[in-house]
Structure formats: structure tokens, C-alpha cells
Structure 1
Amino acid sequence: MFQTHYKLERYTIGLMLAIIVVASIGGTVEIAPLFTIDETVEKAPDMRVYTPLELAGRNIYIREGCYACHSQMIRTLRDEVERYGPYSLAVESQYDHPMLWGSKRTGPDLARVGGKYSDEWHSMHLNNPRDVVPESVMPAYRFLKQTELRMDDLPEHLAALKELGVPYTDEMIKNAASDAYGQATPDSTQAQGVKARYGAATDIRAFDADPGVVTEMDALVAYLQILGRLTDAAYRPDQETAATQ
């Protein structure tokens, strides 16, 4: 085998052609599935977009590098499904720019963490992880509750995502800052606008238990609480199976 390779290296044109053939095979394997993406990606008519507050929380999640220790993609392996819930579907990440599937799990996968714990648990965990998980190696993020959330630039964030195909309406973009405020302050006049634009099931509450000011803690907890809940597509096969039995 090595003798053949050594002989091939002596002929520039032959080596170049061999490289092109190998690269073409690899490229075809990677590119070909894209032509059938409409057939392979699941349909999720109930899929909703992130609210401005949840999007702000996602930006904080990325800023703090949370994706380096937490994946957001449950594989089809039995032990993963039993531990974390239904395996992740491609459609669940269609509005994620960038996607946060990850590959390393210093901490648990978070693809279905939404609704698993209370807002209080998340706030305590982010403030000092050892308060709720004694063996945790996660750093503390106490500053999140002390830092007021910047909201004036949220319309630009939504407008940029709209250019990438996320179906934000002009009204959503225009009211992004007030909707972020309203989602974290349930007694405010802005709260009703959030439900009107993002659906009646949208979580509207003081996520950090302090309705007086909207903090980065509010935003990050709101984001964590929606993970795995933008659509119920992952649970639909179980529902259809149960209906036929």
C-alpha cells in the first residue's frame, strides 16, 4: 500500500487527480443531504419564535460561554433519552442563529430544561451553583441579578434575525424593547402586548422574583425556561402512538 502511495507522490498530476477524487467523495457525502432537507426536517406548525426577553437571555448565554460546558442536543441513544427526554429534532433549532448543539458536557444537556425547575431554583443556581448542587464545578454568576438588562438594542437584534429568515413581524421588531420589559413585569401595561404578539401561553412573570427592574437574570432564566418548549414536535410521536392504542 505504501509503495503505491510513494509512486503516486512522484507524479504531480496523478496525485492532484487523486486528491480531487477523494475531496469530491467527501464533499458529496456532506452536500448531498442538503438537497433533501425539505423532506428530512420535521414540520412544526406550532413553532414560535423567541420573545425579545428570551432572545436577550440567549445572547447572555452565548456571551458567558455556557455552550462550552452544556450541549443542547439529545442524541437518540437510550440512556440519553431516559435521562434528558425525547431526542432533539432538527426543526427545534430552525430559529437558532448560531445553533448551540454543542459537543461537550461538563454540565448536563439543557435541550429540555425548560419547565424542569422553578425560576427560584435557576436564580439560586446561577447566583451560586453550590447552593443547590453541592458537587457543581460551575462558576457563580451573581452579577446577573445586579445588572440591569440593556433593551434599547433589541429591535436591531430582531431585525437582523428577520434577515436570516426568522419570521419576526415589523410590529414585533418595533415593540421589542417594551415587550422585553413587559414579559418580566406582569403588572405593567406592556405585558398584554407580549401575549398578543407571542401567544397566550407565553411566560410572563418576574423571573428573578424582583418585578421592580428587569435584569440579566430575568433574561437568562426566561431563556432557560423556554428551552425545549418552542414546539411540542418532539413529543408528538408519543401522542400519536397513544392515540392509536
Structure 2
Amino acid sequence: MITASSGQKNVTLTCRAPDNKNIVVKWTRADMKSEYVLLYRDEVFVPDDQHPSFKNRVDLQDRQMKDGDVSLILKNVTTADNGTYECYVVQNRRGSLKLINIVSLSVDPPDQAGGHTEVGEKKDGVSRGRPGLIAGVIVFGVMVALAEINEELSHKEEQTVLQQQTKPSRNLEEELHLPPPGKSLRKERCLRQEEGSLLSSNSLNNTNDQDQGPRPPPVPQTPDRPSPSSPSLSPSSPHLKFTEEMMELLNAGLRSTPAQSFLSP
């Protein structure tokens, strides 16, 4: 079997007869009935019953058929050329067509790798490099996406830094709980005025003290002590009982004496 790729320039179907005295060479394909691929007779191509798809696309590798070489060259290969090809020769004028070789041709579609131009000769197709090209495109796309992501992240970081730089004083005041500038100035002025008034009052007091002279030292206060003549009387003391009895007698005498005796001269 010979493998080729669609769009390949040439592919060779080999056939070699045992005798070099070949008069007629005929190539056919199994799926064709009365038409043929190529007919070469008396050193002339016969196009009468040739299939239209092979016109101007086939030739013999050696028209002199040296050493019995009757190989077929197929040009501009397409997937329509798939099939089994048969090689016939006539070696004398009274002879008949004799089957020499059968060759199977497989043509790959355009999206697959190329095949062979001859037996054992491999030709690279255009699609061989496509997997590498696809991988390169994917890698390039990933690199572009990563670059865009990095650029976006750096832009966000720059915006964050700028925002932090534009609001440092406000954040510092909020963290330290500082009052606004106007209030702090007014408060400082009030404190200075109070300090000035206190200093003036202290200086005035110092002046008055100097005018009045030195003051006598304070007299130490001693705790009150009971006098010896007035001893403390408890409810059970005899002096208190005697006093109460005398008061009762006095009151009884006053009641018994009429009021007029006190008023008379």
C-alpha cells in the first residue's frame, strides 16, 4: 500500500514487467468499469476511454519502459484518488493483457500528515507543523493574558498607594483623637488667659502679705479638758441624787406657799 496526502504534487505507483518487450501498458482502477486510468500503445497515449478525472494528471515514469519499468506517475493527488490500481501489459502483438501488479493507494485528508511519493520514500505534508503551531498560539495567548493581569494588578496597587498618600493627616488625627486646628487654638488661648489671671492674683496676694508684715505664728489648739471644780456627774453619783432631792423639796414648798405671800412687802 502506498500512502499519500491530499494536495501532494506527485505519487508513483510502481510496476515492473519481467520482459522489456512491452507493446501495450494499461492502468485501471477496480471501481471503474469500461474506463481506464492510462493506456499507452505503440509509444502513444490513447485518451479515448480515459476517465475524465485522470486527464493530464498521469504519465509513465519511463516511456521507453527500460528494464520492464511501467510505473505510473499520478499528479496533484486528491482524496478522490483512493482505490486499488491494476497494472496490465501486452508483450507481443498476438498476446493479451496480462496482470503484472496491484497497488493500493490511500490518500490522507488535508488535516493529516503527508505520506509517500514512492515506495519507502516519505514526504512531509504541510500539516506536520500544525500541532506545534497550535501549541505556540496557546502559549502566546496565555502569556498575553498573564501580562494583562499583571498590568491590572499594578494599576490597582498604584491607585491604592495614591489614596493612602492623599489622606495621611486625616488618618493621623483620627488615630490620635486630635481636635480640629481652630478649636485647639481657642483652647490654648483660654488656657493662657487662665494662667495669666492666676499669676496676677498670686502676685497681688504676695504684695499684700509683704505690706502687712510678718504674721504671728498660729496658737496651737489644745483639746478641751473638764475643769477640776466641775467633775462629771454620772446618773449614779451621790451629788446628783442630793441635788434632785433638794429640787423636789423646793418645789413642794413653793406649791404650799400662797402666791400672795411673795407679793406682800
Q: Bin the TM-score by the shorter chain.
A: under 0.3
For the pair shown, the structure with the greater C-alpha radius of gyration is 2
Structure number with the bigger relative contact order (C-alpha 8 A, sep ≥ 6) is 1
**Greater per-residue strand proportion:** 2
What TM-score do you get using the length of structure 1 for normalisation?
A: 0.23
What TM-score do you get using the length of structure 2 for normalisation?
A: 0.21
